[in-house]
Amino acid sequence: MKTLKTEFEQMVRVHKGTIYTVCFMFSKDADEVNDLFQEVLINLWRGFASFKRESKVETWIWRISFNTCISQERKKKHTSRIPLEMGIDLFHDRDEDSKQIQMLYQRIHQLKPFDRAIVLLWLEGIPYDEIAAIVGITVKNVSVRLYRIKEELKKMSNQ
């Protein structure tokens, strides 16, 4: 018989890539990504025993991850940080494909956190109905928001 702790550990092992994807979307700083990951794990653990399985586990994890990162983003705006510069950049490749992807993510990072969450889910190939369940809006609203987000990203490319 599995204990609650064992079930939780297994769930985290299976879905840690999803959690890191969301955290990385909200920060490019490795330490901050790890801090966000820890916050998501804490929130997942707090809600794990009461999770009723009315939605898919993946949907629940996406939702908790996004809500945690958006909350941390809001808190971050109220505090100041002093960046530590090391003089090297371990996160960026120099080939052309990597530069294109980096440019896309820089533009996405300029979006509001809620729009950033929606476009990330869309880029992950999540169906509109699941996106709606994760972020708590209607499927039609997902469609409209994605259209507007794409238009906003196009405008950024013309600037």
Residues 61-106: tens digit of each pLDDT? 998 998 898 888 877 766 555 554 545 454 555 566 667 777 777 8
Q: Looking at the structure, tell me whether residues 3 and 70 fall in a common domain.
A: yes
CB under 8 Å to 142, separation ≥6 — which residues? 118, 128, 131, 132, 135
**Parent domain of 33:** 1-91
Mean per-residue pLDDT, 35-54 = 90
Q: Looking at the structure, tell me whether residues 115 and 143 fall in a common domain.
A: yes
Mean per-residue pLDDT, 14-32 = 86
Mean pLDDT, the chain, whole residue set: 83
Quote the CA–CA distance of 146 and 55 in Å, as a whole number.
Answer: 23
Q: Looking at the structure, tell me whether residues 143 and 73 fall in a common domain.
A: no
Q: Looking at the structure, tell me whether residues 110 and 59 fall in a common domain.
A: no
Mean per-residue pLDDT, 38-53 = 91
Q: How confident is the model at residue 26 (pLDDT cuts 50, 70, 90)?
A: confident
pTM for the model stands at 0.66
Domain end: 36, 68, 91, which one?
91
Q: Looking at the structure, tell me whether residues 115 and 42 fall in a common domain.
A: no
Q: Looking at the structure, tell me whether residues 42 and 106 fall in a common domain.
A: no
Q: Looking at the structure, tell me whether residues 84 and 98 fall in a common domain.
A: no
CB-CB contact of 69 with 22 (8 Å)? yes
Q: In the chain, how many domains are there?
A: 2
- Of the ranges 5-9, 36-40, 59-63, 71-75, which one carries the lowest mean pLDDT score? 71-75
Q: Looking at the structure, tell me whether residues 84 and 114 fall in a common domain.
A: no
